Structure 1
Amino acid sequence: MGVFSRLSDIVNANINSLLDRAEDPEKMVRLMIQEMEDTLVEVRSAAVKAIADKKEVERKLKKLHDGQIEWEEKAEFAVSKGRDDLAKGALMARRRLAEQAVVLERELEVIEETLGKFDEDMNKLHNKLNEAKGKQRAVEIRMKTAEKRVKLREKLHNSQIDDALLRYEAMERRIDELEASAESYDMGRAKTLDEQFGDLEAELGIEDDLKALKERVNKDN
C-alpha cells in the first residue's frame, strides 16, 4: 500500500469505532499509534525528496531564464551589427530554452501541489496521532480501573468466604462447648425425662442452625 493511500485510511479512520470493536483496545491503540508514527516518517521522507526536487528544478529554471536573457542580448547585438542571420540563430536558441522552461515550470507546479498536499496531510496526521494518544491514555486508565475493581471484588468475595468459615467454625466450637457442658452435668447422676427432652430440643435447634450455615457457605462458594 502506498504512503498516500495508507495515510488516507488513517486520517479517515474512526478511532472510537475501531477501539469499540477491538478485543484488546489497549493493544489496538498502541498498534495504531505505531502505524501513524511510521507513516509520518515516510511522509516526511517523501516531503524532503520533493523539496530537494523543487530546488533542483528552480535552479534549472533560473539557468534557462538566464540563458534566454543572454540569447536575447546576443540577438539585439547581432541586429545592431546588421547580422540578421546571427540574430535569427540567437532567437531560435532563446526559444528552445523557453520551451524547456515551460516543461520545467509545469513540473514545478506539480511538485508544489504535492508539497501542499504533504503539508495538509501531515497536519491531519498530527491531529489524528494526538487523538490516538489521548485515547491511549483513556484506555490505560479504564483498564487500570477495571483491574482494580476486579481485584477489589475478588478480595471482598474472599473476605466473605473467610467470614462464613469463621462463623462455621465458631458454631462448631459452640456445639462442642454445649455438649461438653451437658456431659459435665450428667457426670455422677442420671438425667430426668424432662432434661432428656430439653437436650433433644437443644440439639435439634443447633443442628438446624448448623445446616443453615452450611447452606450459606456452599452458596457463597
Structure 2
Amino acid sequence: MIKQSIFGRISQLAKANINAMLDAAEDPQKMMDQMVRDYNDNIAEAEQAIAQTIGNLRMLEDDYREDEQAASEWGAKALAASNKAEEFRSAGKADDAAKFDNLAKVAIQRQMQAESEMKTAEPTITSQRQIVDKLKSGLNMMKEKRTELASKRDELVARAKSAHAQNQVNEAIKSVNIMDPSSEIGRFEEKVRREEARVRGAAELQASSLDAQFESLEDLGEQTEVEARLAALKAKQAGTLES
C-alpha cells in the first residue's frame, strides 16, 4: 500500500504518451517543462515519504537492539542471581538462597519479555526492510525516468523548433513563388533586347544611307565624265570643220 500510494500518481505520468500530448499543445516547450517540474515535485514527495519510512524502520531496529541488549543483560543477571543462590544454599543459608532464586526468576521473566518483543518485532522489521528496498528501487527508476523525460523534452523541443524554422522557410519560398522576381527580370531582359535591336536597326539604317551617298557620288562622277567626253568630241569636230 505504501509503495502504491507513493508511486501510483507518478506511474501515470511515466506511461503518458508525450508525442500525443504535444500534438494538442499550443506551446510544446512550456508543456514539457511543466511535465519535468511535475515529475520533480513527485520525486520530492516520494523522497519525503521514503525518508519517513526509513526513519520508522530505523526506530524499529533501534528498539530491537535495545530489546536484544536487555535480554542479554537480564540473562546475565539471572545467571548471577542463580549462582549466588547456590552459594548460599551450599552455605546452608536456605532463606538467602530462596531470595536469590526469586531474583533469578524475575530476571528470567524480564529476559523472556524482551525476547518476546524481539520476536514480535522481527516480521515487521523484515517487512519494512523489503518495503524500503522496493521504495529505493522505485525512486531510482523515477530518477531515471526523469532523466529520460528531460532528454525527450530537449529532443522534442529541438524538433519543434526545427519544424517551425522549416515551415518559415517553406512560407518564404512560397512567397517568392507568388512574387517571382524572374518574371521582372524577364521583362527587363526583353526591354534590353528591344533596345539592342533598335540600335542595330539604326546602325543598319545609317550604313544604308552612307552606301546611297557613295552610290550617288559614283553616278555623279560617271555623268561628269560623260559630259567631258562629249565636250571633247564636239571640240574635235569643230576643229575639223575649220580646217
| Cα pair 1:7 1:39 within 8 Å, conserved | no
Determine helix, strand or coil for the equivalent of 2:92.
coil
Contact preservation (8 Å) 2:36, 2:150 = yes
Percent sequence identity over matched residues? 16
Query: Shift of residue 57 of structure 1?
Result: 2.1
Partner of 2:102: 92
Kindly indicate whether residue 49 of structure 2 is the aligned counterpart of residue 78 of structure 1.
no
Scaled by the length of structure 1, the TM-score of the pair is 0.66
**Residue of structure 2 equivalent to 1:151:** 161
Of 163-172 and 60-69, the range deviating more from structure 2: 163-172
RMSD: 3.2
Task: Please list every run of 5 or more consecutive structure 2 residues that lacks an aligned counterpart in the other structure.
Answer: 19-30, 196-243
Q: Is the contact between residue 58 and residue 108 of structure 1 (CA under 8 Å) also seen in structure 2?
A: yes
Residue 211 of structure 1 is matched in structure 2 by none
**Is 1:136 matched up with 2:136?**
no
Deviations 1:61-90 (A, max 9, x none): 222111111111122122222332322222
- What does residue 117 of structure 1 align with? 127
* 1:104-144, Cα deviation, whole Å (9 max, x unpaired): 11222234333322321221112111211221122122222
Q: In 2, are the aligned partners of 1:75 and 1:86 still within 8 Å (CA)?
A: yes
Q: Structure 1 residues 164, 124: closer, same or farther in 2, change over 3 A? A: same
Within 2, Cα distance between the matches of 1:82 and 1:176?
A: 140
SS at match of 1:165: helix
**Which has the larger displacement, 64-73 or 116-125?**
116-125
Match of 1:196 in 2: none
Q: Distance in 1 between matches of 2:103 and 2:162?
A: 87
Distance in structure 1 (CA, Å) of the matches to 2:130 and 2:12? 24
Is 2:3–2:134's contact at 8 Å kept on the other side of the alignment?
Answer: no
Q: Which has the larger radius of gyration?
A: 2
2:45 alignment partner in structure 1 = 35
| Number of positions where the alignment pairs a residue of Structure 1 with one of Structure 2 | 181
Q: Does the CA contact (< 8 Å) of 2:14 and 2:145 recur in 1?
A: no
Task: Give me the TM-score of the superposition, normalised by structure 2.
Answer: 0.61
- 2:73 corresponds in structure 1 to 63
4+ runs of 1 displaced by more than 6 Å? Answer: 178-181
Q: 2:56 aligns with which of 33, 41, 46?
A: 46
TM-superposed CA distance for 1:169, in Å, is 5.0
Say yes or no: does 1:10 pair with 2:21: no
2:184 aligns to what? 173
1: CA distance between counterparts of 2:133 and 2:65? Answer: 23
State the 1:53 CA deviation. Answer: 2.3
Give the CA deviation at 1:98. Answer: 1.5
In 2, Cα distance between equivalents of 1:120 and 1:53? 18
